[in-house]
Structure 1
Amino acid sequence: MNLRQQRRSRTASAALALGIALTLAACGGTTQDSADEEPTGGGGGAATGGATGGGGGATEYEEGLAITMLPKQVNNPYFETSSEGAQKVVEELGGTYEYTGPSDASASSQVSYINTLTQQAVDAILLSANDPNALCSALEQAMSGDTAVVTFDSDVDPSCRDVFVSQVDGEEVGKTLIEMASEQIDGSGQVAILSATANATNQNAWIQVIEDELANNPDYADIELVATVYGDDEDEKSFSETQGLLQANPDVEAIISPTTVGIAAAARYLQGSDYKGKVALTGLGTPNQMREFVKDGTVTEFALWDPGALGQLAAYTGAAMASGIITGEEGETFEAGDLGEYEIGADGVITLGPPTRFNADNIDDFDF
């Protein structure tokens, strides 16, 4: 149980004790007028904001919450779409919203933003982390000041946040990535990975699943992973890493890029090179950034979840934490508007849903 959860637990216990005391006092005698009155709540007031408490004690979202999204880096289409979803939710709940962060995807750059938000005493921080451990000290300071820390997209050590909103089950992502690559090279050949930063929690988890599948799944016995390189979620570096990767490994038949910046940069390199049509590229990207590459045959198929919905769920989760609807304990539930009801799983993880595959047949059905 982290610091915020301990405070919530103490607050809930105190509220329960107070409620019992008031009930006992009320049992000492009533008047006829009071006995005839209709009850007006179930112990803490009826819910009016559409949320259902799953263990935190409160039953509705507070108004006026200050919620800030801190992505790995700004000027990234993926996070801009997530921000649009989060902003819509916060404004609908009557809160104030801010989107801020570094232009480079580094943990040290994120620390200063976390410290500033802690000083501003925002109600909730929605964070996509660039490192699982380097941000912990700053995040602990934020939680000690009663700021809810909700990670999304990329997690930190569970002790350093309240809950993590995962886009999908990590194992499912890794399996989808290697499955798409295998299909595009007919189950045989060399593959390579172009990732984001070397310490990115989510990419590393997916890469581990890919490695495990290659080692243990007989369906991939004829596929060899020959290299993993890092573009640091920078367009130009991802572009040059793709070039260097193929020059160093001329027999590579497929590149897997589990990052929206990386896959777009790699696609741009392949599009203008002799490798177009010879090297398959798959990974995680948005339909809008990948549409031209699918239509001209540079990319056959890739996958992603809806980053806007991910931002919405992160915002609802942050608001539910800050409002006391949930505390981060496993089994608690809350309503996330049109997204429906969500339950907190083990280690404080909330999962959005399965990834969607995009190809020439369906890409025009999506706009994000």
Structure 2
Amino acid sequence: MTSRFLTGALSVATAATLVVTLAACGGTTKNDSSGSGGGAKSTAQADPNAALKQGVKMAFLPKQLNNPYTDIEVGGGKTALDELKGQYKLVGPNDASASSQVSYINTLIQQQQDVIGIAANDPNAVCPSLNQARNAGVKVVAFDSDAAKDCRDVFINQATTQGVGQKLVEMANELAGGSGEIAILSATPNATNQNAWIDVFKNILTQPQYANLKLVKVAYGNDDDQKSFQEAQGLLQSYPNLKVIVAPTTVGIAAAARYISSSNYKGKVAVTGLGTPNQMREYVKDGTVAKFALWNPADIGYLAAYAGVALASGQITGAEGQKFTAGKLGQYTIGASGEIVLGPPTVFDASNIDKFNF
């Protein structure tokens, strides 16, 4: 959650009945790219009946490597490319700094990849290089965390931004008992998806029914386990009356739960946010965490790969209203600004967490 899990017993196809509706920032389509980024413009028409090409070379560039969430996401991309008889490649930095992805994009251009799938650490820092790729004929699929609007062809969004923010507030409000101090433990200060969710979170808190909740701090753990652990500790030391830590990042929620589970704050301060069942199971079972939410990260990568191959094959160009089929996930329709919404996530608690394994 970063920014950043639902395979097991459920898939997105069945997730339509799940609780939350979550999405992130919009973007622009290939056909209407007109921003200052100088992205490739195209008047090409989509051919929805075009055969999907085999051998499409698609490189995944996540926010950082060796992140549990990232591993599951890109694993879904590999599964899809295996089905499509494409060529999968994984590259990326070990840190989630704003400019850490730029050199990888430049190398992928030189390697003549057909498609780049990127979860942007910073929406603008990667823009010039992504547009160089597009000018060279490379299709760009942003996933999980959007790039700037005019720097990619489509964006695979987990769910709606409004829905994510709303669900985070609802869980925080319930766990706080309707009043008291709450804090957010986010990923990086520039993470597109995190900031979009936090903005919604803040706006919803202005509604009368949440008047007794007070957001005291937004802290950043940079999607680093130890940094997030320290930030959680700092929040509790700085705000002794804190009731809830909301972490919309899988790294952050696990680190905060780990700290509280072995401290005197256990049972006094709640932790919620976005996490994976496997990383959070022990904290749910020991009573540290009552509930949290997430979508299926493997399906994000899976959908990104199918979208990338559809782009490379000419089935879609990224224009609103175009449709394509994404294997086991079924048919998708491209929304405004090239956004493709995966589908709703679920809320995990003690009653259902053992039904999921990811």
TM norm structure 2: 0.88
**Unaligned stretches of 5+ in structure 1?**
13-54
1:124 paired to 2:115: yes
Alignment equivalent of 1:239, drawn from 229, 243, 267: 229
Q: Structure 1 runs of 4+ off > 2 angstroms? A: 2-7, 55-58
| Deviations, residues 303-353 of structure 1 (Å, cap 9, x unaligned) | 000001111111111111111110010000000011011011011100001
The alignment's C-alpha RMSD in Å is: 1.2
Q: Is this contact kept in 2: 1:302–1:357, CA < 8 A?
A: yes
Q: Is the 8 A contact 1:66 1:96 kept in 2?
A: yes
The alpha carbon displacement at 1:61 in A equals 1.0
Q: Paired residue for 1:90, among 77, 81, 86?
A: 81
Which residue of structure 2 lines up, in the alignment, with residue 134 of structure 1? 125
> CA separation in 1, counterparts of 2:50 and 2:294?
33
Give 2:134's aligned amino acid.
M
* Structure with a larger share of its residues in helix: 1
CA deviation after TM superposition for structure 1 residue 58, in Å: 5.3
Deviations 1:172-223 (A, max 9, x none): 00000010111111111110000000000000000001100001x2221110
SS in 2 for 1:183: helix
Equivalent in the alignment of 2:187: 196
- C-alpha distance in 2 between matches for 1:85 and 1:6: 30
Instruction: Return the alpha-carbon distance in structure 1 between the equivalents of residues 284 and 50 of structure 2.
Output: 46
State the alpha-carbon separation in 2 of the partners of residues 57 and 365 from structure 1. 37
> Partner residue of 2:211?
221
SS at match of 2:109: helix
Separation in 2, partners of 1:207, 1:337? 33
Matched residue, 2:5: none
Larger radius of gyration: 1
Q: Are 2:198 and 1:163 equivalent residues in the alignment?
A: no
**1:306 maps onto 2:293 in alignment:** no
1:99 has 2:134 as partner: no
- Please give the alpha-carbon distance, in whole angstroms, between the structure 2 residues aligned to 1:156 and 1:89: 22
The number of residues matched between the two structures is: 323
Distance 2:321 2:80 in 1: 23
Question: Cα distance, 1:56 vs. partner?
Answer: 3.9
Q: Which residue is 2:239 aligned to?
A: 249
Residue 6 of structure 1: CA displacement? 3.1
Provide structure 2 residue ranges, at least 5 long, that are not aligned to the other structure: 1-31
State the shift of 1:57 in Å.
5.4
- Listed one character per residue, the Cα deviations across residues 263-296 of structure 1 (whole Å, up to 9, x for unaligned) are 0111111111111111010000010111001010
- The answer for the alignment partner of 1:40 in structure 2 is none
Partner of 1:250, secondary structure, is coil
Q: Pick from 307, 317, 324 the counterpart of residue 317 of structure 1.
A: 307
Match of 2:336 among 330, 342, 346: 346
SS of structure 2 residue aligned to 1:107: coil
- List per-residue Cα deviations over 1:213-240 (Å, max 9, x = no partner): 001x222111000000000000000000
Percent identical: 56
Residue in structure 1 matching 2:320, options 288, 312, 330: 330
Q: Per-residue deviation at 1:5?
A: 6.7
Letter in 2 for 1:300: A
Q: Is the 8 A contact 1:68 1:125 kept in 2?
A: yes
Letter in 2 for 1:197: T
Task: Give yes or no for contact 1:111–1:138 (8 Å, CA) kept in 2.
Answer: yes
CA apart distance, 1:109: 1.1
Does structure 1 retain, via aligned residues, the 8 Å contact 2:187–2:252? yes
Alpha-carbon distance in structure 1 between the residues aligned to 2:247 and 2:334 = 29
1:60: which partner in 2? 51
Aligned to 1:30: none
User: SS in structure 2 opposite 1:150?
Assistant: strand
Q: 1:291 aligns with which of 271, 275, 281?
A: 281
Q: Distance in 2 between matches of 1:243 and 1:57?
A: 53
Identify if the C-alpha distance between structure 1 residues 112 and 58 changes in structure 2 by more than 3 Å, giving closer, same or farther: farther
Q: Which of the numbers 177, 183, 197 marks the counterpart of 1:186? A: 177
TM-score (norm 1): 0.86
Separation in 1 of the partners of 2:39 and 2:323?
Answer: 18
